[in-house]
Structures are given as structure tokens and as C-alpha cells.
Structure 1
């Protein structure tokens, strides 16, 4: 039977101390980013099905349903497409590509996928300060890296490719939204409530 001191030492290892170092914050943010990419990114077979993948929308409500379903289900895939098109537009200028990759990484690690507070020299850094520093760094990078026309075109092409996929991807046989399942009567809105017909 383990002693009380051993049990206390085992539980002390599982908790992080506050404040944690910036390197630990970055490490945990990278783990969160990897988990989000692995769980949210759909496979190519699902993204580009072989059996009748292209189907033009029949009406404006059909466009709305497709946008909601496809964007919600393939949002990580669309983000990867936009990032890849933006990176491809900067291939001719390696300095801009490295700068774009660095700024994007800072945003992902320090803002979007960060769970822990940041402490610098023992003082807590507010989320607003992190946001403002990242906005300033992005603006300076765009200002000093030269014309941003190539990057704008790359992002526009990525958004256009994603929009075409959203409109033409048939959603009827691929997945089912919970709200749509409730509205079509496939599942009950409240599983605890059972309606009895007499």
C-alpha cells in the first residue's frame, strides 16, 4: 500500500504551478494545435468523394444549408487550403514566406490555441496586450516585407477555392447536422421526453 507521502508526490506531479513558464505555455499551445488539426481535418476521401461529389444547389435555402454544413464540417480543411494558397503566393520571396509563417505561428501559438496565462518577469500579461502586440507585429511585418498584393491574391484564391467547394459539395449523403436531424424528426429534441400516442 503506497504511503501518503508517495500519493501526495504523485498528485503534485500532475498539476502545473502558476505562473508557468512561457516555454510551457508555448509547448501546451502547440499540443492543442496538433490535437485540433488531427481531430478537425477531414480525410481527402471524405473531402473529395468519388461518387457524385458535384451537385449544383437548387435554391437559395439550399445554398444556405450547404454553407452551414460544409463550412462547419470542413472548416479546418478550408483553413489549410487558404494557408497553402497564401504560402504558395509567397514562394517567389522566401523572406516574405518565412515572415508570414512566423507571424502565423505566433498567432496560432500565443493567441488561438493558448489555454494558460502568460507571465513575463513574474507579471501576468493580459490577453489584450498579447492581442495588440500580435496585431502590431503583423502590421509591421506587412509594412516592411514589401507589397502585399501577392499575399492578398493567394488568400483570395484560397477563399475562392473553398467557396466553390462549399457550393458544389453535396451534403445529402455525407454527414448529418444535429439540428437538421431534430428538425426532420429523425431524433427527438429531448431524449428524456417520450411522446405516447393514444
Structure 2
């Protein structure tokens, strides 16, 4: 009988509810800025990126060229992003107003979309992610319509992407350090959970995300 009473009491207990603490817009931007800074800190050393002529050669086949491009894109992803951004900025030097406006819009995309992890609140109301994207798209369209730098910006981005492709194909990735995911895909490590393996321990020590 006591067991029955206990079970009946348990059945009447409402389920636990969990709430998240509201985060101010300033805190959201601050955390996004920290995420952006952490991403930029993973930039590979530029001497390693530039390397020497000893690691620059033509790939023997198209498949090898694709393999090099994929490996270099994974290893130097932040470096390539910096180069494309720098080329885009250089293309707008002749239009300083456009450079300032487009840079601000680009910063908004990074902070409010790409590097944002927390819900975005305005006066206590949660703003849907799609609403944030729509707002950023409208702001971007307005910025391009007002400043009109689309042609120059397209050329700058195109030059940056061309540098990325040329470097990614000609830079021989042999000898570059791999992270754990690359090591597993290449068959060099059989399991990420095998911490006792000296090879895995070595990759853990060089993985920048650890």
C-alpha cells in the first residue's frame, strides 16, 4: 500500500522544466567576437604557408591536384580566408566609403551569423535565426546598392580565390602535420579513442582544436 501511494505521488509530480538564462545582445556580440578571435588564432604560420620552392611543384595528375587542393584547403583554411578578405579590401581602396560600409556589413555577418552560438535577443524577445539572416541580406543589398562596389569587389574576391587555387595545387602538402580527422581519413590512425597509441598521442599534441 505505501508503494502504491508513493507511485501515485510520483505520477502527480510535474516534470522538471529547464530554462536558459537570457543573454544580452552585448554578451552575444562579445562571445561571437571571442569565437572569431579563436578562429583567427588558428592561422598557420605564414612562413609555413609560403614555404620554399622545394615544396612547390606541378601535380602529376588531376586527381593529385584535387587531393592537394583538398588537403591544403583543410590545413590553411584560415590563411586562405585572410587572403581572400585582404584582396577584397584592397579592391575597395579607391572607394574608402564603400570599404568602410562593406567591412562593417562583413563584420555583422561574422558576428551575428557565422560565429554566433547564443540566441539573439532584442528587448527580451528571441529573434529567429532566419530573421537574422534575412536582416543581414537586406542590409547587404542596401550597402551594395548605396556604395555600388560590386564590380571591384568581385574582381578582388576572384583574385583571392585564384591565389587559393594556384597555391593549393602547387603547394605539395607532403610533410604537413595532420589533425585527428585527417589522420583517420588517411588510415594513419584507426581510432580516435585509442589514446594509448603513441601516434594518436602525437596527433593530440599538435591538434590546434584541443
Q: What SS does the corresponding residue of 1:52 show, helix, strand or coil?
A: helix
Alpha-carbon shift at residue 75 of structure 1 (Å): 0.8
Q: How many residues align?
A: 175
Q: Which segments of 5 or more consecutive residues in structure 2 lack a partner in the other structure?
A: 1-19, 195-210
The answer to whether the 8 A contact 2:88-2:156 is kept is yes
Alpha-carbon shift at residue 65 of structure 1 (Å): 1.1
1:96 to 92, 95, 98: 98
The answer to whether the 8 A contact 1:81-1:158 is kept is yes
TM, length-normalised to structure 2:
0.77
Higher-RCO chain (CA-CA 8 Å, sequence separation at least 6): 1
- Residues in 1 aligned to 2:118 and 2:182: alpha-carbon distance in whole angstroms: 36
> C-alpha offsets along residues 39-58 of structure 1, whole Å, 9 cap, x if unaligned?
x2111121111261311111
Q: Note the 1:109-148 alignment, pairs <5 A.
A: 109-148=111-150
1:35 paired with 2:38, answer yes
TM, length-normalised to structure 1:
0.81
- Residues in 2 aligned to 1:190 and 1:24: alpha-carbon distance in whole angstroms: 35
> C-alpha offsets along residues 86-145 of structure 1, whole Å, 9 cap, x if unaligned?
000000111000011100100000111111111112110010000010011111111111
Root mean square deviation of aligned Cα: 2.0
* 1:182 to 1:113, Cα distance in 2 relative to 1, 3 A: closer
Give runs of ≥4 in structure 1 deviating > 4 Å. 177-185, 189-192
1:152 to 151, 154, 162: 154
Q: Which segments of 5 or more consecutive residues in structure 1 lack a partner in the other structure?
A: 1-16, 193-198
